[in-house]
């Protein structure tokens, strides 16, 4: 119980300027672009696998979850990003 109370004291809802700049830049990219890159990586991986370049195909296939997670992060930042706290400091 005490650990939770201590942890809540150290929660900082403010973002540094570097993070805000990254979020401003990535917010301008549509979420569907990340999905398109992930689908493209799937296609490129399939082509590499079918052409006998299995290791290259496996390497490219590992990009897919990364792009999907970046797209999810982008979507979350757009909905629940730092600017929510900047506009309404009392919102928890």
49 contact partners, CB below 8 Å, separation of at least 6: 57
- Note the pLDDT tens digit of each residue in 43-69: 999 999 999 999 999 999 999 999 999
Domain boundaries, the chain: 31-92
- Note the pLDDT tens digit of each residue in 16-36: 788 778 878 877 888 899 999
Q: Which residue has the higher pLDDT, 38 or 92?
A: 38
pTM above 0.75, yes or no: no
| Whole-angstrom distance, CA of residue 8 vs CA of residue 22 | 26
Question: 26-40 b/e with 16+ CB inside 10 Å = b?
Answer: beeeebeebeebbee
Does the pLDDT at position 3 exceed 60? no
| Whole-angstrom distance, CA of residue 72 vs CA of residue 38 | 12
The pLDDT value recorded for residue 84 is 58
Tell me the two tokens of residue 58. Answer: 């496996």
Stretch 55-84: mean pLDDT, rounded? 87
Does the pLDDT at position 74 exceed 60? yes
59 contact partners, CB below 8 Å, separation of at least 6: none
């Amino acid at each position: 119980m005490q650990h939770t109370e201590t942890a809540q004291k150290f929660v900082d809802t403010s973002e540094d300027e570097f993070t805000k700049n990254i979020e401003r830049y990535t917010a301008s990219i549509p979420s569907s672009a990340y999905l398109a890159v992930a689908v493209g990586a799937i296609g490129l991986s399939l082509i590499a696998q079918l052409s006998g370049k299995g290791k290259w195909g496996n390497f490219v296939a590992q990009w897919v979850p990364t792009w999907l997670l970046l797209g999810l992060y982008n979507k979350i930042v757009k909905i629940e990003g730092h600017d929510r706290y900047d506009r309404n400091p009392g919102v928890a």
